[in-house]
């Protein structure tokens, strides 16, 4: 089955008025573009150029109704249940709904608006109810369980057995085994959570859009010229010509705090950013958090689990909350010890300058940059002059060619529909055979209505169930667009993030699975592929060919590269601690009884118990921790990044030791064959052993971050 989401409350209509009496576009598949089969090149592509928000609600309702008919046909099949007529049949359902949800995802993440958010709030609980209706279809689950317990199950291919296990678990772990009032309550909880998750995410986006710090010309001290130009463009876009806008996103906040000489303004920007969702107004998220946690806790108790984390981690690599905590705590003490050293270095510089301050959170990035220059003679802005966005994109595509055997060819403008003029498209083919592999979309720039951060999305996954379907997917970033005609320069950290998200794209583009469900991910494993790809940024071939000066075109000097390498573990105290604090808080929230929870007090007291350095905030404070509260994607799973980084550091050492280094063809083939192409068709632990010959070891992670090896 492709997608579980939503039940329709209004009847499906084929006119311009729905059964609820609301104006809407027709839901007929031929008339409503969101429902229509994808046409055009590459096996069909989304009609992004014809998206109309008026189509969305009726399209969702029609697609959900169709999906329920598909499900009922399987559940009512009079033939005895088999893998083919039950499990494979499920894999064929939901295709229309998947298409509609692709468009919905663009409006949600890339092109949001107040009008869309109203529809989102209305439809989220209906989508959840639809999901519950499928999961709680007793006749359907009886058929799944019969196949799961049958003799046939033992005769299946390994990937088919994996599929059967995943499908069975998806039902059994999400309420299919419940009956009576417990089953009804489970569905009610899911509907309410859908409302709360949507409201939480909308509140953050409202604060990101609504809070902008405007600067005058006399407040630009210390800021790089590239940032100033981008800030001027951002202000002009908002009707504030002649001013300079610091937007309430990480990509704008981070460089401002790093370079601005205006300490009062640094504090203002810092507080604005870290208070998202926490401003005691209509967009405040503090009241939503306890209800979300209470409902999650109640729901898993209906299934017999002690807490949400125990339920969530059962089928992940970590298996138990205790194992996740053990990893986080093993790194925590080393990280905060490093913070003490970093703060002492900063304070020494501030004192030598006669600043008369004690290092505060809004000083950390600013004085870290001074320490970087003093210790490593490394100037972040100097490095930035060699990091042109277009060149970095070319570098990623080169790596994909050398390691994955992919050839990326730009698609002529207009031949593939896009949802915004900034979006560019490439076709991917196999370098040796010339066979079509997939299509890649890139949406790199920040704009109003686009959520902050960076992410990868798959619009269509690879499968061979009914003929080959090749993947369509995207990478999305929030770089600040420069003045017209000027190259966009990015920080080293942003360059790493660009490669990171491209790793996700290469993961889905590499897929060779037969069934849609096998493209699903195991959360504490799927970050491994993306984190590993970051390592190619600092390889000689990328450095020598793509990191050239924005004005002179000269390659980055060897001595500057040496400084970058020498400073590779610089500021690891800050970076590791701000992340670990959020990961630990996530696990604490999901292993506690949340009755009577005050999130603000809990966060403050928990950080105090951990010994959190006062100079560093959590990367994501509770009121804007969208990873865990705007959906359940990373709930009790934010630890996944460091779990995956254990694999990453270990695999990176394997490449460093290989005869051909990071471009060793034999090891690259093992990487793709075992850790990218199978997706979720193989248990991740077994997949990693097939690549490395053993389990990953934490020692590599500690070495990688410059921490003492335990």
Q: Label residues 395-416 b or e (16+ Cβ within 10 Å = b).
A: bbbbbbebbbbbbbeebeeeeb
Helix 158-172 with 138-148: angle, nearest 10 deg: 140
Are the C-beta atoms of 504 and 477 separated by less than 8 Å? Answer: no
Q: Would the pLDDT of 395 be above 90?
A: yes
pTM of this structure: 0.86
Work out the average pLDDT over 477-497: 91
Report the C-alpha gap between 577 and 644 in whole angstroms: 17
Work out the average pLDDT over 637-649: 95
Report the C-alpha gap between 208 and 253 in whole angstroms: 11
Q: Would the pLDDT of 16 be above 90?
A: no
Window from 24-38, 64-78, 230-244, 327-341 with minimum mean pLDDT: 24-38
Tens digit of pLDDT for each residue in 440-468? Answer: 999 999 998 998 889 999 999 999 999 99
Q: Known catalytic residues?
A: 501
CA-based torsion, 612, 613, 619, 621: positive or negative: positive
Q: Would the pLDDT of 422 be above 70?
A: yes
pLDDT at position 205: 92
Mean pLDDT score across all residues of the chain: 93
Report the C-alpha gap between 409 and 612 in whole angstroms: 48
User: pLDDT category, 30, cuts 50, 70, 90?
Assistant: low
Phi and psi, residue 16, nearest 5°: -80, 0
The DSSP secondary-structure symbol of 281 reads S
Are the C-beta atoms of 288 and 202 separated by less than 8 Å? Answer: no
- Structural domains of the chain ordered from first start: 1-177 (1.10.1370.40), 211-274 (no CATH), 288-378+571-638 (1.10.1370.10), 389-566 (1.10.1370.40)
Long-range contacts of 239-246 (CB under 8 A, 24+ apart): 240/214, 243/214, 243/215, 243/216, 244/214, 244/215, 244/216, 244/217, 244/219, 244/220, 245/212, 245/213, 245/214, 245/215, 246/212, 246/213, 246/214, 246/215
The burial class, CB within 10 Å (0-12 / 13-18 / 19+), for 517 is buried
Report the C-alpha gap between 682 and 171 in whole angstroms: 20
Tens digit of pLDDT for each residue in 135-186? Answer: 999 999 999 999 999 999 999 999 999 999 999 999 999 999 999 999 999 9
């Amino acid at each position: 089955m492709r997608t579980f989401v939503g039940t329709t409350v209004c009847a499906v209509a084929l006119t311009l008025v729905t059964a609820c009496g609301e104006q809407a576009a027709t839901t007929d598949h031929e008339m409503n573009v969101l429902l229509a089969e994808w046409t055009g090149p590459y096996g069909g592509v989304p009609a992004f150029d014809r998206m109309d928000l008026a189509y969305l609600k009726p399209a969702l309702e029609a697609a959900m109704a169709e999906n329920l008919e598909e499900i009922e046909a399987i559940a009512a099949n009079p033939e005895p249940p088999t893998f083919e007529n039950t499990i494979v049949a499920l894999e064929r359902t939901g295709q229309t709904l998947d298409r509609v949800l692709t468009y919905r995802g663009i409006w949600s993440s890339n092109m949001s608006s107040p009008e869309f958010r109203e529809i989102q709030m209305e439809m989220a609980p209906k989508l959840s109810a639809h999901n519950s209706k499928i999961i709680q279809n007793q006749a359907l689950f009886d058929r799944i369980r019969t196949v799961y317990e049958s003799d046939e199950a033992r005769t299946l291919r390994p990937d088919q057995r994996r599929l059967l296990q995943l499908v069975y678990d998806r039902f059994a772990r999400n309420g299919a085994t419940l009956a009576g009032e417990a089953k009804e309550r489970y569905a009610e909880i899911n509907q309410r959570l859908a409302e709360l998750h949507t409201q939480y995410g909308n509140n953050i986006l409202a604060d990101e859009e609504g809070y902008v710090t405007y600067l005058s010309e006399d407040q630009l001290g210390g800021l790089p010229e590239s940032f100033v130009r981008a800030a001027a463009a951002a202000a002009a876009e908002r009707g504030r010509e002649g001013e300079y806008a610091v937007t309430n996103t990480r990509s704008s906040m981070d460089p401002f705090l790093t370079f601005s000489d205006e300490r009062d303004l640094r504090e203002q920007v810092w507080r604005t950013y870290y208070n998202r969702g926490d401003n005691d107004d209509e967009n405040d998220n503090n009241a939503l958090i306890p209800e979300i946690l209470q409902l999650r806790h109640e729901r898993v108790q209906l299934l017999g689990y002690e807490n949400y984390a125990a339920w969530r981690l059962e089928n992940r690599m970590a298996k138990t909350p205790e194992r996740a905590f053990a990893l986080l705590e093993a790194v925590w003490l080393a990280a905060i010890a490093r913070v003490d050293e970093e703060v002492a270095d900063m304070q020494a510089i501030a004192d030598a300058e006669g600043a008369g301050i004690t290092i505060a959170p809004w000083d950390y990035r600013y004085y870290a940059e001074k320490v970087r220059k003093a210790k490593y003679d490394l100037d972040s802005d100097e490095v930035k002059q060699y990091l042109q966005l277009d060149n970095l994109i070319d570098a990623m595509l080169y790596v994909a060619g050398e390691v994955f055997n992919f050839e990326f060819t730009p698609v002529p403008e207009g031949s593939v529909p896009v949802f915004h003029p900034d979006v560019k498209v490439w076709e991917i083919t196999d370098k040796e055979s010339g066979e079509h592999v997939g299509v890649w979309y890139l949406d790199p720039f920040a704009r109003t209505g686009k959520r902050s951060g960076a992410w990868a999305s798959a619009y269509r996954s690879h499968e061979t169930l009914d003929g080959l379907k090749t993947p369509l997917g995207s990478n999305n970033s929030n770089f600040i667009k420069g003045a017209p005609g000027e190259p966009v320069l990015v920080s080293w950290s942003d360059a790493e993030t660009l490669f990171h998200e491209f790793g996700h794209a290469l993961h889905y583009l590499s897929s060779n699975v037969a069934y849609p469900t096998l493209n699903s991910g195991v959360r504490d494993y799927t970050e491994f592929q993306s984190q590993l790809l970051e390592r190619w940024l600092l390889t000689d071939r990328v450095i020598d060919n793509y990191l050239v000066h924005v004005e002179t075109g000269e390659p980055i000097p060897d001595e500057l590269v040496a400084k970058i390498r020498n400073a590779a573990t610089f500021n690891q105290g800050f970076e590791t601690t701000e992340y670990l604090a959020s990961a630990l808080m996530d696990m604490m929230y999901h292993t506690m009884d949340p009755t009577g929870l005050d999130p603000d007090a809990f966060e403050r007291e928990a950080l105090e118990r951990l010994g959190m350095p006062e100079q560093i905030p959590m990367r994501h404070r509770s009121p804007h921790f969208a990873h865990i509260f705007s959906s359940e994607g990373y709930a009790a799973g934010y630890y996944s990044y460091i779990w995956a980084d254990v694999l990453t550091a270990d695999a990176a050492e394997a490449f460093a030791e290989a005869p051909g280094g990071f471009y060793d063809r034999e090891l690259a083939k093992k990487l793709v064959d075992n850790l990218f192409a199978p997706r979720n068709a193989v248990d991740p632990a077994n997949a990693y052993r097939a690549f490395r010959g053993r389990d990953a070891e934490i020692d590599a992670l500690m070495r990688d971050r410059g921490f003492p090896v335990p």
